[in-house]
Structure 1
C-alpha cells in the first residue's frame, strides 16, 4: 500500500486501529509492509494508540482493548477525546441547519460541540434529551442583553432518567419524542459499523434513539473516526436509516470507500465544499 506512505499520522493510526479491530491483532512487520513506513513509525503509532487506551501493546504488535459492550463512559470521560475532530465536525454540521427549522440533538459530546455552533442560527426550535446541550442554550440566553435578542432558540428538554452521559432516556423521554416531528436529527453515537449499524451500551438510550430516528425527516449522524468499528450492547438503527454522516479527516480512504457503499451523503469535515470557509 505504497500510496499510504504520506498519510497524516492521525489517518495512519485510524487505519492501524481498524486493522487491529478487524483482525483481532496485528504485528509490527505486517504494518510496516502494509503502510510502507518504518518499524519505528509503526511503534510510535502503536504507542500513541496505547496512550489513548484503544489498543494494548504486546510483543511484536498490538491487540484491541476490549471493553464490555455494556460499558458506558461518563460525559466528562468522553469530553476530552478527539477535541479537534469534534470541533471540525460541529462546524460542518452547523452548515446543514436552516434558520427557522425544528431540529433534534441527541446526547453526547459531539452534539454538545454542535450546540455551541448553533447559538447564532435564528429562530430554531431545538428538542434534546441532553442536559448538557440544553444548558448551552440556557446559559447563552441568560447573558446580558440576550433576553431581548430576536431569534433566540426555543429549547425543549425531554424528561426521563439521566444516564452517565447526561442524557435523559426511558418511557417519559420516548413519549415526548414520539409525539414530535423534526426537520433534522443530529445524532451522536457510541459506535457505528456495517454489521451492527448504530449502537449504544445503554438499553434505554437505544429505545430513545429509535424514537428520535422515527420522528426525523432527515437523520444526520455526527461521529469522529474512532467510532467506526465500535459496537455497543444494543443496535438502534441501520446504516440505511442514516441520510448523512458527518465525520472528520482522520477517517482513512479504505473506510470512506466502505461507508460510501451504504451512505450516499458522506461529509468529511474540512475536506468538503460545505466546510471550505470554516
Structure 2
C-alpha cells in the first residue's frame, strides 16, 4: 500500500478494499500511518465502504463482509485497541460505584480496565464472567491491596476473549441480582442494538442485563456502528453509555436519541 496523503477518497477506498481482500482485514491505526491521513478520515472511508456492503467495521478496523459478524479477537489483541480511551472510560465509570454495592462486570478489556479502579472501594461484591477481571481482584488480595471485594466468578466455557459463557454461567447469573452492571460490548448500533460475534456470549450478556438494576455500557467510540452476529439487547435497555472524547458530536446526538444517558469521559 502506498504512502500518499494526497490520494482522493476514491483512491484511498480502493486501496483499503484491496488490503482487506488481501489480508482479510485492516486496522485504523495502521491505515492512518500508511496513508498519511487522520483517524477520522479513515473511519469515514470505512463507513462508506461498509454502506456499500464490501466490508464490515469491527472494533479498531474492518474485515471482509463475509467474516465480520463472527470475527472475535482474543483478549490480548483487543487490549491493544484504544488503550487510552479505555482508561478514561474506566476512571469515569468507577465514580458510579458506591461502597457496599453489588456490581457485575461482563467480559471485555474495558471492564478489565475498570476493575483496577474498583479494588479500593469498600465492601463490594463483584460478579463477573471474566477471568482477567477476576484475576485483578485476586492479585490485589494476594498483595494485600484494596478493600478485599467478594468476587463471584460465574464458571462456564471460556471464549477467545477470556469470558465464561454457556449454561453454567447463565444459571449462576439468573440466580443473582446486582445494583449495577458494567457491560462491555462488541458493537452498538441503532439498528442492531448491543451485539457480539459469539452466540453463547450473547445469551450470557442477556442474563446479565435482566439481572441488573442499572445497565452501564462501557465502550469506546469505535464501537458505534459495529454489528456482531448476535444481538442481546436493544439500545434502550441500557441506562448509560460511558465512552471517550473521540465520540463525534453527530454520533453523540444520535446515541442520545435512543440511550437514556451518554457520558463522555474527558481526555486525560
CA deviation digits over 1:189-234, x for unaligned, max 9?
A: 0111000000000000000000000000100000001111111000
Pairing partner for 1:265 from 257, 261, 264: 261
3-state secondary structure, aligned to 2:178:
coil
Tell me if 1:71 matches 2:71. yes
1:128-277 equivalences under 5 Å are: 128-143=128-143, 145-146=144-145, 151-270=147-266
Match for 1:54 among 39, 50, 61? 61
| Partner SS for 2:169 | helix
Deviations, residues 54-83 of structure 1 (Å, cap 9, x unaligned) = 25xxxxxxxx75443111110011111100
Structure 1 ranges of 4+ moved more than 6 A: none
Describe the SS at the equivalent of 1:155: strand
Q: Which residue of 2 aligns with 1:92?
A: 92
Are the counterparts in 1 of residues 194 and 231 from structure 2 also a CA contact under 8 Å? Answer: yes
Q: Distance in 1 between matches of 2:43 and 2:133?
A: 30
Residues of 2 paired with 1:104 and 1:268: CA distance? 21
* Number of positions where the alignment pairs a residue of Structure 1 with one of Structure 2: 225
For normalisation by structure 1, the TM-score amounts to 0.76
8 A contact 1:89–1:248 mirrored in 2: yes
Consecutive unaligned residues of structure 1, counting only runs of 5 or more, are 1-8, 27-51, 56-63, 272-277
| Pairwise CA distance, 1:15 | 6.6
Shift of residue 260 of structure 1? 1.1
Indicate the residue corresponding to 2:47 in structure 1: 21
Are the counterparts in 1 of residues 156 and 168 from structure 2 also a CA contact under 8 Å?
yes
3-state SS of 1:217 partner: strand
Rounded to whole Å, the distance in 2 between the matches of 1:15 and 1:209 is 33
The 2-side partners of 1:167 and 1:80 are apart by 17
Q: Secondary structure at the match of 1:142?
A: helix
Please give the alpha-carbon distance, in whole angstroms, between the structure 2 residues aligned to 1:188 and 1:21.
22
Instruction: Check 1:235–1:70 CA distance in 2 against 1; reply closer, same or farther (3 A cut).
Output: same
Distance 1:53 1:81, change over 3 A: closer
Assess if the C-alpha contact under 8 Å between 1:14 and 1:225 holds in 2: no
Q: Given that residues 60 and 222 in structure 2 are in contact (C-alpha distance below 8 angstroms), is that contact kept between their aligned partners in structure 1?
A: no
Q: Is the 8 A contact 2:102 2:178 kept in 1?
A: yes
What value does the CA root-mean-square deviation take over the aligned residues? 2.1
